[in-house]
Chains A and B, each alone.
Chain A
Amino acid sequence: MYKNVQEYLEKLKKELEGADPALIQDALSDAEGHLRTGLEEEIAHSPGLSETEALKPIIEKYGSPSEIATSYRAIEPHIAPSLAPARPQELRSFWARFFGVLAEARAWGAFSYMLLALFTGVIFGGWALLGGFISACSLLFIIGLPIFGLFLLSIRGIALLEGRIVEALLGVRMPRKPLFLKKDLGWTDKFKALVRDAYSWRSLLYAVLLFPLGLIYYGLFGLLFVLSLIFITSPVLELVFHIPLDLFGDNVFTPVWFLPVVCIAGFILLPLTFHFAKFIGKIHARFAKSMLVKK
């Protein structure tokens, strides 16, 4: 017998202990959405009913926490993050692995993430800084409290959206459902819960950090990618289009005997860039997971 929805959710969380935190967040979000909708309907139907009484038949139909935990655990292995994980066996030769990175969806995903980071970083980070500043200033007035609350809510929305991007491009399981605040709380209590929740602050910090990170990722990987393309096409650029590479000073053409070396360097730099993007993507995904999943 559960006194309220919160008690059920705590039991469910306990049953899911050890599972992927993103899975736990989704399972809790599903259960909370269902139970609260059911509860509302039940109480509207028979107004005198207490929460505990109204909840009993709903939970009976929904399933016990252990049953629900089992269902989620059974399905989870079949739900792969958007890009399939890297092949476990690496039987290919060194060179096949080195150049094969250009055919890996994961590497392209990570590389796209690095370029996209400019926009997400500027938009999310910009909003976190600007919105944070405005709402913090508005706290001087009484009207500032709801504005600050709305700002924190928007940051949680951004955290969910960024999580979806990270899962799609970096292939790491992230939450798919939004977190709810308890429905039966008043406005002040909702605000307090929002402010006290470390998740709101971690999301805010992540959004702020994404601003410089986005610029660095975009600048670094954009530069490496463009450089490798220029190197690869250097013989065509210099000999056909007469555009100097300026490798040896301003407006200076590369000696013809050196062009094959530059071209080969480009062919090596390109896969190297993708290996590097994969590596940074892996580290960033870990960082995102530690910041954007409710503990």
Chain B
Amino acid sequence: MVDITDANKKFQKELNSGIAALVLLGVLGQAKDPMYGYQIAKFIETHDEKIPMMKQGAFYPVLRSLESSGLLESFVNPSVSGPPRRYYNITDSGREALKSWIGIWDQTKAFVDRILKEKTDV
């Protein structure tokens, strides 16, 4: 018997691996000022369901990956109270990528919805 909870977790994880990059780029694309990791995680938390879709710690490696691809840039600033913070900012190529990723996301969403919702004879 297949454990449904495990299967759900696996499915969610696989979905998240691609979505996290889009979500992070989307958040930073709308941000007026550069944001640091904790701030981004908190912002996403306010838009999340009661059971969070993604672990906050999983955002950090994605932020680094986006930075190494040149879609984000970062700088470290000392903080008054805690350890120094790394602030992230979207780059021009990041904005361009975000535009096309939103297009891809819309197409994917529409495609999946068509398959799942339309009552067609198979």
Contact = CB atoms under 8 A, between A and B. Distances in A.
Contact of B57 (A31, A76, A78): A31
Interface in B48-105: 52, 55-58, 60-62, 64-65, 68, 76, 79, 81-86
A71 B36 CA distance: 19
A288 B29 CA distance: 37
A72 B61 CA distance: 6
Residue of A27, A31, A62, A71 most packed against chain B (CB within 10 A)? A71
B35 interface: no
Contacts of B55: 61-63, 67-68, 71
A57 B85 CA distance: 21
B17 interface: yes
Interface residues of B, number: 25
Interface size range on A against B: 20 to 34
B76 A79 contact: no
A76 to B, nearest CB: 7
Contact of A76 (B38, B60, B61): B61
Interface stretch (A35-43, A46-54, A131-139): A35-43
Nearest to A67: B55
Nearest to A75: B61
Contacts of B83: 32-33, 36-37, 180, 183
B93 to A, nearest CB: 16
Contacts of A61: 41, 45, 52, 55-56
Residue of B41, B57, B76, B84 most packed against chain A (CB within 10 A)? B57
Main SS of the interface on chain B?
Answer: helix
10 contacts: A30-B37, A30-B57, A31-B57, A33-B38, A36-B82, A61-B52, A71-B58, A79-B64, A177-B86, A178-B76
Contact of A34 (B37, B52, B76, B79): B37
Contacts of A40: 81-82
A74 interface: yes
Contacts of B84: 33, 178, 180
A62 B56 contact: yes
Interface string A4-34: 0000000000000000000000110011111
